[in-house]
């Protein structure tokens, strides 16, 4: 799950998987905490994974690596991804765009 979530960096930490982290990923960058959260989601049972801005704190290369691994390695889950990033949308098979016009929501 860590490899799929592009969180291989964990193995380079001083205590590896036993490294202590504080509340909300204290001691990690936002992007690292994000990828660990995705790995944890991959380990959960169920066929649906909702990801809200899963690459918002990632650089372009890490974003590409994460999305590539998720889309090619995970066959038993459906992803629902909420994002503003066009680069993420390119990996989606279906896209629903929401637009607010005069206090009304259209899609």
Which domains are present in the chain? 8-106 (3.40.50.300)
pTM of the model: 0.84
The 10 Å Cβ neighbour count of residue 33 is: 17
Taking only the tens place, the pLDDT of each residue in 13-30 is: 888 888 877 665 567 889
Q: What's the residue count for the chain? A: 107
How far apart CA 4 and CA 107 sit, in angstroms, is 32
Q: Quote the longest CA-to-CA distance of the chain.
A: 54
102 or 31, which is more confident? 31
Q: Which of 96, 91, 40 has its CA nearest to residue 63? A: 91
| Helix%, strand%, coil% for the chain, nearest 5 | 40, 15, 45
- Distance separating alpha carbons of residues 36 and 33, to the nearest angstrom: 5
Confidence of residue 31 (pLDDT cuts 50, 70, 90): very high
- pLDDT at res. 27: 76
DSSP 3-state of 72: helix
> How do residues 60-99 score in pLDDT, each as one tens digit?
999 999 999 999 999 889 999 999 899 999 999 999 988 7
């Amino acid at each position: 799950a860590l490899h799929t979530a592009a969180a291989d960096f964990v193995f380079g930490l001083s205590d590896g998987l036993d490294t202590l982290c504080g509340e909300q990923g204290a001691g990690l960058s936002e992007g690292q905490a994000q990828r660990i959260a995705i790995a944890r989601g991959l380990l959960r049972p169920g066929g649906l994974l909702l990801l809200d801005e899963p690459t918002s704190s990632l650089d372009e290369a890490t974003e590409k690596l994460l999305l590539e691994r998720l889309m090619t390695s995970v066959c038993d889950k459906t992803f629902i991804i909420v994002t503003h990033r066009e680069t993420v949308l390119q990996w989606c098979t279906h896209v629903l765009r929401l637009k607010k016009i005069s206090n009304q929501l259209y899609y």
